[in-house]
């Protein structure tokens, strides 16, 4: 293989870049991808344009990687104090800070060019908001206990962009999906923040896991319930059928399972609960696609 033929130092360098961009951990990309697909399939009435599908699939992976690069840049001095992140390439000094910023800028530029070349003016205007959210989110944990809310907005901004690209406009359903996804992101990223809560308290990083305290699981359950209810409203507005609602039942069952996984608030249990959200997003997407296929 070509990789095996490279010198060891170059292989190690590429491995560090892959770790910086989380290429080895696709969960974040998948959690961003499912809601984007919800928007594309609904706006396209079950048949999104192939061009939009390619642009937004690539855009999801590029922008998630860009977000990881700027996140590690923002946290480079704190990550060494957190057990889960202390060996990240930027924190460990194997990658320079300017390299992370350059990768963020380069990936944003590639994504922007795809929007310029292959979508419409409204999507182009919306893309500036997405880039701004991707940049500011990592710094919010210094100033507010609600960085998960900013992450939710950043992760959800692909919804109006995808809808605009497919329908050349926005609708009430667009913003219902956006709201549901913001709440869902806050819920699952609170599980994620619960993994690091003890370390975060020591170094002064803020999060919803710290803000919610012992009410964390209850508040997450409330947020999860609101997500399912809003997605039910989406189904009503879009006149979707029973298969879509079965997808929502699947999501609700997975939410209950996540509560079980995190019942003792252990690092492993909370992390497993976070990872399980991939299947929750896939459940809704599967129900939506199948429902639109037989409509």
Task: Report the pLDDT value the prediction gives residue 200, as an integer from 0 to 100.
Answer: 80
Stretch among 30-34, 71-75, 85-89, 155-159 having the lowest mean pLDDT: 85-89
Whether the per-residue pLDDT at 14 is higher than 90: the answer is no
Q: Burial, 118: exposed, middle or buried (Cβ in 10 Å; 0-12, 13-18, 19+)?
A: middle
The Cα angle at residue 97 between residues 149 and 72, in degrees rounded to 5: 30
Report the chain's mean pLDDT, rounded to a whole number: 90
Task: Report the pLDDT value the prediction gives residue 122, as an integer from 0 to 100.
Answer: 94
- Between 7 and 272, name the one with better pLDDT: 272
Q: Considering only CA atoms, which of 287, 247, 282, 38 is closest in space to residue 161?
A: 38
Whether the per-residue pLDDT at 291 is higher than 70: the answer is yes
The alpha carbons of the chain give a radius of gyration, in whole angstroms, of 19
Yes or no: say if 141 and 207 are a contact pair by the CB < 8 Å rule.
yes
Cα separation, 183 vs 192, in Å, equals: 14
- Per-residue pLDDT tens digits for 163-200: 999 999 999 999 999 999 999 999 999 999 999 888 88
Q: Considering only CA atoms, which of 151, 173, 2, 188 is closest in space to residue 63?
A: 151
Fill in the DSSP letter of residue 215: G
Share of the chain above pLDDT 90, in %: 61
How much is the pTM?
0.92
Task: Report the pLDDT value the prediction gives residue 96, as an integer from 0 to 100.
Answer: 85
**95 by DSSP, 3-state: which?**
coil
C-beta neighbour count of 42 within 10 angstroms: 26
Q: What burial letters (b/e) apply to 163-180, b meaning 16+ CB within 10 Å?
A: bbbbbeebeebbebbbbb
Whether the per-residue pLDDT at 202 is higher than 90: the answer is no
- Per-residue pLDDT tens digits for 76-107: 766 666 666 667 777 777 888 888 889 889 98
Task: Report the pLDDT value the prediction gives residue 86, as an integer from 0 to 100.
Answer: 66
Residue 7 Ramachandran class (φ > 0 left, ψ -120 to 50 alpha, else beta): beta
Domains of the chain and CATH, by start: 12-294 (1.10.357.140)
């Amino acid at each position: 293989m070509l990789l095996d033929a490279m010198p060891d130092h170059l292989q190690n360098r590429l491995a560090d870049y892959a770790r910086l961009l989380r290429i080895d951990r696709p969960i974040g990309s998948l959690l961003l991808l499912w809601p984007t697909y919800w928007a594309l399939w609904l706006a396209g009435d079950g048949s999104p344009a192939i061009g939009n599908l390619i642009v937004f699939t690539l855009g999801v992976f590029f922008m998630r990687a860009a977000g990881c690069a700027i996140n590690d840049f923002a946290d480079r001095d704190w990550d060494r104090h957190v057990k889960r992140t202390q060996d990240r390439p930027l924190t460990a000094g194997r990658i320079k800070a300017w390299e992370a910023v350059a990768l963020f800028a380069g990936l944003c530029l590639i994504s922007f060019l795809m929007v310029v070349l292959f979508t419409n003016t409204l999507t182009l205007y919306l893309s500036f908001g997405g880039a701004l959210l991707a940049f500011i989110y990592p710094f919010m944990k210094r100033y507010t206990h609600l960085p998960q809310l900013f992450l939710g907005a950043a992760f959800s901004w692909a919804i109006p962009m995808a809808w605009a690209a497919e329908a050349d406009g926005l609708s009430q359903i667009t913003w219902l999906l956006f709201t549901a996804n913001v709440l869902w992101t806050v819920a699952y990223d609170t599980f994620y923040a619960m993994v690091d809560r003890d370390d975060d308290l020591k170094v002064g990083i803020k999060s919803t896991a710290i803000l919610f305290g012992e009410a964390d699981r209850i508040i997450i359950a409330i947020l999860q319930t609101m997500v399912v209810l809003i997605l039910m409203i989406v189904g009503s507005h879009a006149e979707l059928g029973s298969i879509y609602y079965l997808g929502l039942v699947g999501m609700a069952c997975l939410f209950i399972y996540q509560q079980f996984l995190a019942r003792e608030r252990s690092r492993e249990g909370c992390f497993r609960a976070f990872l399980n959200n991939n299947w929750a997003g896939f459940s809704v997407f599967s129900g939506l696609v199948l429902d639109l296929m037989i409509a």
